Amino acid sequence: MESRLALTVDGEEHTIEVDTRTTLLDALRDRIGATAPKKGCDHGQCGSCTVIEDGRRVTTCLSLAVAHDGASIVTASGLSDGDLGLHPMQQAFIEQDAFQCGYCTPGQICSAIGMLAEIADGSPSFVTEDLADPPTLTDAEIRERLSGNLCRCGAYVNILAAVRQATQHSDKGAA
């Protein structure tokens, strides 16, 4: 059974027809041509397919495309502004050498940006010490909140440094 849906991806509107069993990841890659989200595990365990949908991070391999009709999706490719350059998180990943092979990097970056939005909204995580107070961005919080994004190359120390660097820019209003 086919279904028509509208998606805005990286600022561009798309209307596509997909089999109702099509994942959002397959719709993005195969039907729209967005190659930033990667197909890693296809089980929601690696985070390579993470994008930002309506301000929240989404693991696209676990989501059916039809459930996202009308959504606004930003992939790692849509984060940079051609006139202003790279998003501060993208720049931090480069400066902190937070990737090796780069396969997981788009998902890592989208997840990190989504994580910062969760912190700003006051959403607690498993390691948040006091649920009555807003969470603070400790190394433990960053590690816990990004634990769903795997890096086979093991660039975790540099990913943590990149998130830290990007939050310094965010504090100045750049993120």
Q: What domains can you pick out in the chain, each with its CATH number?
A: 2-78 (3.10.20.30), 88-171 (1.10.150.120)
The whole-number pLDDT of residue 171 equals 54
- Comparing 62-71, 75-84, 126-135, 154-163, the range with the smallest average pLDDT is 75-84
- Of 7, 118, 128, the closest CA to residue 56 belongs to 118
* 26/63 Cα distance (integer angstroms): 10
- As to burial, measured by CB atoms within 10 angstroms (0-12 exposed, 13-18 middle, 19+ buried), residue 90 is buried
- pLDDT tier, 81 (very low <50, low <70, confident <90, very high otherwise): confident
The pLDDT, as a whole number, for residue 173 is 40
Angle, vertex CA 97, rays to CA 95 and CA 102, nearest 5:
120
Q: 13 pLDDT exceeds 80?
A: yes
pLDDT of 172 over the 50 cut: no
Q: Which residue in this structure is represented by tokens 């009555």?
A: 132
Q: pLDDT value at position 174?
A: 38
Percent of the chain beyond pLDDT 90? Answer: 87
- Under DSSP, the state recorded for 62 is G
Could you read off the pLDDT of 18-57 as tens digits, one per residue? 999 999 999 999 999 999 999 999 999 999 999 999 999 9
Rounded to the nearest 10 degrees, what angle do helices 156-171 and 105-121 cross at?
50
Task: Kindly report the pTM of this predicted structure.
Answer: 0.92
Which residues on adjacent β-strands are paired with residue 16?
Answer: 5
Q: How many CB atoms lie within 10 A of CB 73?
A: 25
Q: Phi first, then psi: give them for residue 72, nearest 5 degrees.
A: -110, 120
Q: Residue 119 in contact with residue 137, Cβ under 8 Å? A: yes
Q: What is the pLDDT of residue 39?
A: 95
